[in-house]
Structure 1
Amino acid sequence: MDQFPDIFVRRLREHGVRYAFGIPGGPWIPYMEAMRRQEMPFILVANEASAGFMADVCFRLTGAPALCHGTFGPGATNLATGVGCAYLDRSALIAATTEQSDAMRHRVTQMNVDHQALFAPITKWTVRAEADTLTSTLDRAVATACEEVPGPVHIGLPVDLNDRNTPRGGSLPDAKATRPPSAGAIRAAADLIRQARRPLIAVGLTAARLGLHQSLAHLLDVIPAPVVLTPMAKGLLSETHPSYAGVLFHACSDRLTGITRQADLVIGLGYDPVEFDYEAWLPPVPVVHIDTAAAELSAPYELAALCIGDLDAAMQTLGTIKPLATEWDFAQLARHRDGLNSALHPRSEGFGPSEALDILRDILPPEGILTCDVGAHTHLIGQLWPTPAPGHLLMTNGWSSMGFGIPAALAASLCRPTTPVVCVTGDGGFTMMAGELITARRLGLNTVIMILADRMLSLIEVKQGWKNCPADSSRLFQNAFLDADRIFGVPVLKADSPATLRQALRQAFHTAGPVVVEAEVDGRDYHQLIARSYK
């Protein structure tokens, strides 16, 4: 038998956990010592929310869960923001918080709140650990987090267990495989698809999580149809593919209605409504939903077939049907793509965000990773940014928390140390997580942070304009944003034109360690870019 913290760390390492993120309280010191002995890095962050965001991204890029930690009370409530991101963006992680002993758990005492109640709505499972069953609890926690649909699990660690001897546990249990959909469900879906003249394929988050771009390409050989993507499915289909129609819900997506309204059937492939409900954009036609989890539709929309199980197996089976002769006009679809691209580049007198992103895309190598924060720029990136494969654009759209972009970029740099990584954030999101520049500097991460500085919460300012409301309350600052050449010891490069941005980015990507690039852009372009209606 070993002490509780040693068994806790050892079992998680056996399950493939390689990183831990958080801010320690005193009771966490024995766990950090156990991590040091077992060579699991504990990465100190500036805000516990970042710990959750970073653990989330580790799962997205490696397929293995990571550990995040918050201490009593405020540590746990801060951590909850990052854990909620993993819950609605479908990432497995283990969240551990320090809890009071059984004797003090229900007493009024400093920093004491009910962590089990706090995490219950934003996790797949929350549990209070016990010494005698720790390894079986961890086995169940990892299995629950990783099985479909993946998500976070919370483990409360009572403070009085730190010195308890704990059994080591046996071999790891086998992981459960996702079962394929029933043959009857596949037949029902195939029959509806064969009858359709103008099927439309909507591809979502699940397909991206599972990396099914090759299965999608093969399926399009037998079902020639337009494809719309949800934002987190970017990378599953090239923006130049003959079937590509665009991204739902993001910039200029009102233009997609010229395609979606022609459909007589919608095929949802890995479409997770956590990003946006079907009803928000769906034409009045039947839906075939093929995913690892069921979806709901409200009247008058019809869920004509439900195919639940192993998504890749379902797509491969459907790929064996006789190729369809659909009635889509692919020349019209090509003209639609050209028009969408033109709309994403509004003509303006100033230096706009579209031009800034085009310059970044030109400089960032194809294998590079872009993380983005939440705001008006997210809508633009989701539609504009050419994404060569899943995992090259990381965003939060189920949870949609500002502050995601910088921690996500740091985690990407940790997981892919030889890959160029850049975060694009607005000035609002940057102010939330600027403290993580210290984390990046301490770790020596070669991460570029590009701020699209327009002095506003631009997405809110656009929506205030729709309601004829003044935007004073959405203005972040006047005059200069970063008025020094360093912040927390990190170099700051400034740009206010295409030429100066190109020069700054080239310098940033050739500089060791983190670099901030402040690109001063004209946010008025967002008024022409943000979609007001999706139907």
Structure 2
Amino acid sequence: MTSTTVARNVVTGLRDMGVRHVFGVPSGGWVDYMEAIRTTDGIDFVLTSHEGGAGFMADVCGRLTGVPGVCFGTFGPGATNLATGVGGATLDRSPMIALTDEMPAPLRGRTVQMAIDHQALFAPLTKTTMRIEADGAADTLAQAARIALSGRPGAVHVGLPQGMSAEAVEPAAIGPIVPDAPPAPDAAALDALTAAFAAAAKPVLAVGLGAVHAGVQDRILALAERFGLPVLLTPMAKGMVPEDHPNYAGVLFHALSDMVGRTHAEADLVVAVGYDPIEFNYESWMKDGLALASIDVAPADIDRAKHPVAAEVVGAIAPALDALLALPAGARGWDLAALAERRAAMFAKLKGREGRFGPCAALDVLRDVLPADGIMTCDVGAHTHLIGQHWRTPRPGTQIMTNGWSAMGFGLPAAIAAKLCRPDTPVCCVLGDGGFLMTVGELATAAREKLPIVIVVFTDNDLALIRIKQEKKANPIYGTPVRAEGTIGGPSLFGVPVTVARDPAEFRTALEAGFAADGPVIVEALLDSREYDELVLRKDKP
């Protein structure tokens, strides 16, 4: 059999499992892998400005394609830079394979420039960590992909020992990756679930990211409609129930969560479907004593002294929903007309208003300009809380945020990855000016790749969430102004043109031009951050 190299087995293996992009900053030890990528059809290396951005990009590729996203970092600082994006994939539940250089066996544990223990570094940030051997690289990558995709998805770290890439080995292929299927639910647990549900007068559905992964949107809608139930969403489950659906009750944890709380305060049972407390733990919003019925691939993480667990179904989600749907139909005690009034009142508060240009009006205009099938990514900040509640999301995957990890700097790399994965789909990102500064260097990546994305920067020169918390404690504003005044600076950044908008009309014109452009465009909206004060950081618990 004709021999090949370790590098080529790694690269062809990634390509054959469906990986189309590898993100990172190269090292000397990565050169053989780069050459293998260059000469292999169907896979490309994307040079990023920072390894953290590479991790965010791989995260979003994993979300959108269902194939583990792949990123690379070199020894020491390359790996620690990469770690921010790797932790994001694990806590945002995105499948990822994070590759790093590692010292060859004779140098492990020695004092060597840039050397740290990457296996130890990535252990708490990933589902597991491993390293390749020359004759088993393909098998290791296949195992890493299966683990990354199984259960709650996440990152797996794979070390590439330096000097191994050029070794001659036999060709090895990777076939389709089949994740471990969740187990079938226990019959007794299903009986407990149906009994708890049947006994409840006002059960409420709380739907999380696990339900998105399970693909049970139709069942959730059918369950809500069959029994007249309100549906609460976690932020990363946006799109599972349309905002105009009569059973939609709002998003937990984000803007005006006190108004959302008026609904779940009436419940006598929370039926949690794929609810992942990494977004928002139960105790922070459920009234004391409120019972839980959990349906998920993992056991419920809840203070059981405060909240009785009436049922806990661990395993495949769809069969548990089918068991509930098999119960006799009939509306429960919910007043859906009152729910509609609360929903309308909440959205009225979030509507853009006359006067100074604020973030609500900016989101209204952007939602109107971006096509319904477009993708909007966002960064972390006060604007995220508005987006979580206010942004109309027609289906999962059309609004992309980080909420389990919540790293500032996520939004721009996320948009780059979304456009690479969905080249025919309009893509934009919404960033605060603080988060924008964290990964502004990735503008160079967007320009180099000639990606037509619209980068919306909400400039208020204010880290608003922290400033609001300071003021609530009657503390002076300190350390939160991004700059004294003005704009992000200049008519272009890294070759990306900048248009400044000072009112909704200017903003609309700039957006329309931006979406018609053939490359990346920045639209900077100069906004009044005081609008956030009355909308975000409200009480979640009655």
* SS of equivalent residue, structure 2 residue 163: helix
Q: Does 1:350 align with 2:356?
A: yes
What amino acid maps onto 2:135 in structure 1?
D
- Point out the more displaced range, 123-132 or 384-393: 123-132
Q: Is the contact between residue 348 and residue 525 of structure 1 (CA under 8 Å) also seen in structure 2?
A: no
What amino acid maps onto 2:328 in structure 1?
K
Q: Does 1:99 align with 2:105?
A: no
Q: Is the contact between residue 194 and residue 324 of structure 1 (CA under 8 Å) also seen in structure 2?
A: no
State which of 78, 82, 85 in structure 2 corresponds to 1:79.
82
CA deviation profile, 1:469-506 (whole Å, cap 9, x unmatched): 11231001022223321111111111010111111111
Task: Identify the residue that residue 293 of structure 1 maps to in structure 2.
Answer: 298
Task: State the Cα distance separating 1:105 from its structure 2 match.
Answer: 1.7
CA distance in 1 between partners of 2:470 and 2:353 (Å): 23
Q: Is the contact between residue 208 and residue 276 of structure 2 (CA under 8 Å) also seen in structure 1?
A: yes
CA distance in 1 between partners of 2:428 and 2:323 (Å): 38
Taking the TM superposition and a 5 Å limit, the aligned residue runs for 1:8-47 are: 8-39=10-41, 40-47=43-50
Taking the TM superposition and a 5 Å limit, the aligned residue runs for 1:449-460 are: 449-460=455-466
Identity of aligned residues (%): 48
What amino acid maps onto 2:185 in structure 1?
P
CA deviation profile, 1:333-382 (whole Å, cap 9, x unmatched): 01100111122247573111000100000111100101000000000000
CA distance in 1 between partners of 2:173 and 2:342 (Å): 59
Task: State the Cα distance separating 1:174 from its structure 2 match.
Answer: 4.9
Taking the TM superposition and a 5 Å limit, the aligned residue runs for 1:69-468 are: 69-169=72-172, 172=175, 174-283=178-287, 284-298=289-303, 299-345=305-351, 349-468=355-474
CA distance in 2 between partners of 1:317 and 1:167 (Å): 50
CA deviation profile, 1:280-331 (whole Å, cap 9, x unmatched): 1012221000011112221221111111111123223322221133011111
CA deviation profile, 1:243-267 (whole Å, cap 9, x unmatched): 1111000001111221111101100
Task: Identify the residue that residue 57 of structure 2 maps to in structure 1.
Answer: 54
- Runs of 4+ aligned residues of structure 1 deviating over 4 Å after TM superposition are none
Task: State the Cα distance separating 1:133 from its structure 2 match.
Answer: 2.3
Task: State the Cα distance separating 1:237 from its structure 2 match.
Answer: 0.4
CA distance in 1 between partners of 2:18 and 2:505 (Å): 45
The total of aligned residue pairs comes to 535
CA deviation profile, 1:107-154 (whole Å, cap 9, x unmatched): 112111110000000111101221132222112111111111111110
CA distance in 2 between partners of 1:370 and 1:170 (Å): 36
CA distance in 1 between partners of 2:78 and 2:277 (Å): 31
CA distance in 2 between partners of 1:452 and 1:174 (Å): 42
CA distance in 2 between partners of 1:29 and 1:430 (Å): 31
What amino acid maps onto 2:26 in structure 1?
P
* SS of equivalent residue, structure 2 residue 376: strand
Q: Is the contact between residue 146 and residue 178 of structure 2 (CA under 8 Å) also seen in structure 1?
A: no
CA distance in 2 between partners of 1:121 and 1:43 (Å): 27
CA deviation profile, 1:57-85 (whole Å, cap 9, x unmatched): 11111111121000010000000000000
CA distance in 1 between partners of 2:352 and 2:416 (Å): 32
Q: Does 1:511 align with 2:520?
A: no
* SS of equivalent residue, structure 2 residue 80: helix
In structure 2, relative to structure 1, the CA distance for the partners of 1:171 and 1:403 (3 Å cut) is: closer
Task: State the Cα distance separating 1:229 from its structure 2 match.
Answer: 0.6
- Point out the more displaced range, 417-426 or 341-350: 341-350
CA distance in 2 between partners of 1:473 and 1:211 (Å): 43
CA distance in 1 between partners of 2:37 and 2:322 (Å): 43
Q: Is the contact between residue 351 and residue 364 of structure 2 (CA under 8 Å) also seen in structure 1?
A: no
Q: Does 1:469 align with 2:452?
A: no
CA deviation profile, 1:7-43 (whole Å, cap 9, x unmatched): 1111222222221000001110100111111121000
- Point out the more displaced range, 474-483 or 234-243: 474-483
CA distance in 2 between partners of 1:358 and 1:519 (Å): 13
C-alpha RMSD over aligned residues: 1.4
In structure 2, relative to structure 1, the CA distance for the partners of 1:317 and 1:479 (3 Å cut) is: same
CA distance in 2 between partners of 1:170 and 1:331 (Å): 58
CA distance in 2 between partners of 1:171 and 1:241 (Å): 44
Task: Identify the residue that residue 482 of structure 1 maps to in structure 2.
Answer: 488
CA distance in 2 between partners of 1:335 and 1:329 (Å): 10
In structure 2, relative to structure 1, the CA distance for the partners of 1:170 and 1:26 (3 Å cut) is: closer
The TM-score, its normalising length taken from structure 2, stands at 0.96
Gaps spanning 5+ residues in structure 2: where?
A: none
